[in-house]
Structure 1
Amino acid sequence: MSLTVAVAGASGYAGGELLRLLAAHPEFEVTTVTAHSNAGQKLGTVQPHLRSMADLTLVETTPETLAGHDIVFLALPHGASGPVTAGLGDDALVVDCGADHRLEDEADWAAYYGGDYAGAWTYGLPELVLDGGSTQRDKLVGARRIAVPGCNATAVTLALAPGIRAGVIDADDIVAVLAVGTSGAGKSLRADLLYSEQTGSAVPYAVGGSHRHNPEIRQNLGAAGGTDVTMSFTPVLVPMSRGILATATAKLAGGIRPADVRSAWELAYANEPFVHLLPEGTSPRSGDTTGANTALIGVAVDEASGRVVTVTAIDNLVKGTAGAAIQSANIALGLPEAMGLPVDGVAP
């Protein structure tokens, strides 16, 4: 028997991507979709590409409309999930794609987000390697409340955590520069996201350590065994609708030979269905992950500078958000982890 699903924030990019993937899931049945300003409209009016669900009517996002479902996916603005989830009981599996439940340190929440702190939930990045030798996947089994990682945090974490856990790179001088598609900024109307403003230009934002994914990345790399994690993280908005290409570098640890570096990533991701280490000497393209729940990683050693260089590609709306949410829900419910999730991208 199918599990009933509600998707809150179904009119946005993340909500729409959740619905696109859920439509192909053999065990999940979407029965309720909610929105704010678009409540009362047919889903097909605001998400015309979702033909199989076009006749669903968007309703208001309240604990009452979300109650009674087996699974609730939240794709709401930051700060909006906490008040909604407080009104849901313990029966449903609740998966939050927003930031409200990612951070373990209340001081980090206050510094980067502000407002009421809603508490940390089980973190939904199964492939995160942990210092003790396990992965975050073990903690997701049987979870009833899951916080989906930020898309930039996913890319940088997957890029560097294996090297930190294996001790082949240091965590005290990380530099990450990310080329990010415009859908990562959401669907709201903003002058700086207009086609004429973005086309033909690359624009850095949140320069100087102010991006809200900073504490999340440091939290993850600390869980992988990093001490005194310091990072310079700069995202750059580029004229593509979706995707992230993250170049992250770290110092080669003392006594580590360049020839020994690659094995850390090979060991970490050898059996992962969605995180793939590319052959030596190759790097991914962001477009190779479009529409897929995959992370493609290239690893190299810059011997002249004594640094390890990683290049990671993900689709910010799939592996960076909706795909991670469904993957984590599959694990929590004891379903096959890859159920309903694509590994093949869309080209050209």
Structure 2
Amino acid sequence: MPYSVAVAGASGYAGGEALRLLSAHPELEVRTVTAHSNVGQRMLDVHPHLRSLAHLDFVETMPEALAGHDVVVLALPHGASGALAASLPEDVVVLDLGADHRLTDERDWARFYGGEWHGSWAYGLPELLHRGSGRQRDALAGARRIAVPGCNVTAVSLALAPGIRAGVIESGDLTAALAVGPSGAGRSLKTELLASELLGSASPYAVGGVHRHIPEILQNLRAAGAEQPTISFTPVLVPMSRGILATVTARLVPGTAESTVRDAWVDAYAAEPFVHVLPEGRFPKTADVVGANTALLGLAVDADAGRVVVVAAIDNLVKGTAGAAVQSLNLALGLPETLGLIVDGVAP
């Protein structure tokens, strides 16, 4: 008997990607989809690519619609998940694709988001390294409330955590410049996300330490062993519908051998099914990960600058959102972590 699943906010990009992965999962059955402005519409009116779910119609996002399911996925705007989640029974597995339960410090929430803080849940990035030893997946086994990471956070955290834990990079003066697709901003109509604004252009946003993902990145780096990390984080919208290419740099600890640097990343992810370190001299493209729950990392040492450069590529809607949710859900339910997820991208 498959686990029954409801997806709230299923009409958006994150909700739609969650539906795509959940519908192909052999142990899950999507039975309810909710929305706001799309209530009453058929699934195929909103997501014509999801043919296997053609029998579903969107209903209003109410606790009554979500009740009675084994799993509830919340793909809602920031600030909308907390109250709804509080109305669900404790034995239901709830996954929040928004930010409401990611941060462990209420002060960070007040500064970067504002409004009521609803506390932190088990963090849904299984590969995140912990100080000394261990990984975040240990905290996900049997979890009933899971906060799925931010997509930019996933790319940057995976790129930096091995060097932090191994002690080969300094945690101050970190930099991250990201090329991101606009699907990460959601499906609502915004002038800056129109094709006429994006095509043929690259547009920076949230510049100067104000991006909401910064405290989450620093939280993850502290978990990996950083004492007082700082990061200059600059995202740039580029004309690709999905994907993140993060170029991340850090100062090397003086006297660190180049071979030791590469070993830190290779050893950290050698057994990970979804995080792959590319051979020396190779760097990923976003096209390599479209549709896959894969993070690809390329690594170089800039000896003259005394820095390591890590380039990370993920699909923001898969490894950055819905894939991380399914991966974490598998762990919570005691299923094989890779079930229902693929490492192969779509090309061309």
Shorter-chain TM range is over 0.9
1:40 Cα shift? Answer: 1.1
The secondary structure found in structure 1 opposite 2:328 is: helix
Q: Which segment drifts farther, 51-60 or 206-215?
A: 51-60
Q: Does 1:332 align with 2:332?
A: yes
Counterpart mapping for 1:89-168 below 5 A: 89-168=89-168
Q: Does 1:316 align with 2:316?
A: yes
- 1:177-196: CA deviation from partner (whole Å, max 9, x where unpaired): 00000101100001111111
Q: Return the alpha-carbon distance in structure 2 between the equivalents of residues 332 and 270 of structure 1.
A: 23
Query: Hey, what does 2:218 align to over in structure 1?
Result: 218
Q: Return the alpha-carbon distance in structure 2 between the equivalents of residues 52 and 230 of structure 1.
A: 45
Q: Does 1:55 align with 2:50?
A: no
- 1:227-282: CA deviation from partner (whole Å, max 9, x where unpaired): 11000000000000000000000000123112210011111100000000000111
Q: Return the alpha-carbon distance in structure 2 between the equivalents of residues 132 and 124 of structure 1.
A: 20
Q: Does 1:265 align with 2:265?
A: yes
Q: Does 1:85 align with 2:85?
A: yes
| Pairs aligned (count) | 348
Q: Return the alpha-carbon distance in structure 2 between the equivalents of residues 172 and 67 of structure 1.
A: 46
For 1:228, give the aligned amino acid. Q
- 1:150-197: CA deviation from partner (whole Å, max 9, x where unpaired): 000000000000110000001111000000001011000011111111
For 1:60, give the aligned amino acid. E
Q: Return the alpha-carbon distance in structure 2 between the equivalents of residues 319 and 121 of structure 1.
A: 19
* TM-score under structure 1 length normalisation: 0.99
Q: Does 1:299 align with 2:299?
A: yes
For 1:318, give the aligned amino acid. V
1:67 Cα shift? Answer: 1.1
For 1:257, give the aligned amino acid. A
The secondary structure found in structure 2 opposite 1:137 is: helix
Q: Return the alpha-carbon distance in structure 1 between the equivalents of residues 192 and 224 of structure 2.
A: 37
For 1:201, give the aligned amino acid. S
Question: Any gaps of 5 or more consecutive residues in structure 1?
Answer: none
Tell me, yes or no, if the aligned pair for 1:244 and 1:316 is still in contact at 8 Å.
yes
Q: Return the alpha-carbon distance in structure 2 between the equivalents of residues 62 and 88 of structure 1.
A: 11
Tell me, yes or no, if the aligned pair for 1:81 and 1:96 is still in contact at 8 Å.
yes
For 2:61, give the aligned amino acid. T
- 1:306-336: CA deviation from partner (whole Å, max 9, x where unpaired): 0000000000000000000000000111100
The secondary structure found in structure 2 opposite 1:177 is: strand
Q: Does 1:256 align with 2:256?
A: yes
Tell me, yes or no, if the aligned pair for 1:269 and 1:276 is still in contact at 8 Å.
yes
The secondary structure found in structure 2 opposite 1:261 is: helix
Query: Hey, what does 1:67 align to over in structure 2?
Result: 67
1:283 Cα shift? Answer: 0.4
Q: Return the alpha-carbon distance in structure 1 between the equivalents of residues 262 and 116 of structure 2.
A: 42
Q: Return the alpha-carbon distance in structure 2 between the equivalents of residues 76 and 30 of structure 1.
A: 17
For 2:104, give the aligned amino acid. E
Q: Return the alpha-carbon distance in structure 2 between the equivalents of residues 241 and 14 of structure 1.
A: 13
Q: Return the alpha-carbon distance in structure 2 between the equivalents of residues 220 and 198 of structure 1.
A: 31
Q: Return the alpha-carbon distance in structure 2 between the equivalents of residues 241 and 58 of structure 1.
A: 25
1:62 Cα shift? Answer: 1.3
For 1:111, give the aligned amino acid. R
Query: Hey, what does 1:15 align to over in structure 2?
Result: 15
Query: Hey, what does 1:285 align to over in structure 2?
Result: 285
* TM-score under structure 2 length normalisation: 0.99
Q: Return the alpha-carbon distance in structure 2 between the equivalents of residues 253 and 171 of structure 1.
A: 10
1:91 Cα shift? Answer: 1.8
For 1:231, give the aligned amino acid. I
For 1:2, give the aligned amino acid. P
For 1:189, give the aligned amino acid. L
Q: Return the alpha-carbon distance in structure 1 between the equivalents of residues 254 and 68 of structure 2.
A: 55
RMSD: 0.6
Query: Hey, what does 1:245 align to over in structure 2?
Result: 245
Q: Return the alpha-carbon distance in structure 2 between the equivalents of residues 254 and 121 of structure 1.
A: 37
Q: Return the alpha-carbon distance in structure 1 between the equivalents of residues 163 and 54 of structure 2.
A: 45
Question: Any gaps of 5 or more consecutive residues in structure 2?
Answer: none
Q: Return the alpha-carbon distance in structure 1 between the equivalents of residues 252 and 223 of structure 2.
A: 19
Query: Hey, what does 2:347 align to over in structure 1?
Result: 347
1:342 Cα shift? Answer: 1.2
